[in-house]
Amino acid sequence: MLLGALTRPNEFDRLFMSPFMGLREMHEPDLRVSQTDDAFKIEADVPGMGPDDIEVEITNSLVRVQATRDNRTYRFGRRFSTRLNPDEATATVENGVLTMMVPKMEATGMRRIPVMSGTPQIEATEEE
C-alpha cells in the first residue's frame, strides 16, 4: 500500500520536499476554475505571495504556476482540453489570490484537403 500512496504527486512531493530535508515545503493551493465562451478564469490562493514570488507558464493546453517565498512553495499544473491562447493571458495577485485570465484559442474547424494523384510537389528554394 505504501507504493500506491507514493504514486500520487502530492504525497511524493511532501515526502521528498519536507523541511526536515532542508528543502522547501510544498503546498497545492486551493484552486477555482470557471469559464465563459471566450476564456478561463483560474484563481489560486497563494497567501503572502507577491508578483515577484510567482512564476506562471502557459502553453496552448497547460497552465503551470509556482509561487515561492521564504520556506513555502505553492505549485500546481492544470491541463485543458480546449486550446489556450498564451499570448493574450494575464495574471494578477491581490490579497493572497492569484487570478489568471486565459483566453481560449479560436477553433479553426475542420478543413478538407484535396487528394491528388502522383508525387507531392514541393517547390525548392535556392540558398545563397
CA angle (40, 95, 10) in 5-degree steps: 65
Cell of 108: 479553426
What are the mean pLDDT values of the chain's consecutive 10-residue runs (128 residues total)?
40 45 65 93 93 94 92 90 93 95 81 75 62
**Do residues 50 and 93 make contact, with C-beta atoms less than 8 angstroms apart?**
yes
- Those residues with Cβ within 8 angstroms of residue 86's Cβ, 6 or more apart along the chain or in another chain: 58, 59, 60, 102
Q: Residue 126 has what pLDDT?
A: 62
Q: Are 55 and 100 in contact (CB under 8 A)?
A: no
Report pTM. 0.65
What are the structural domains, with CATH classification, of the chain? 30-103 (2.60.40.790)
Category of 109 on φ-ψ map: left (φ > 0), alpha (ψ -120 to 50) or beta = left
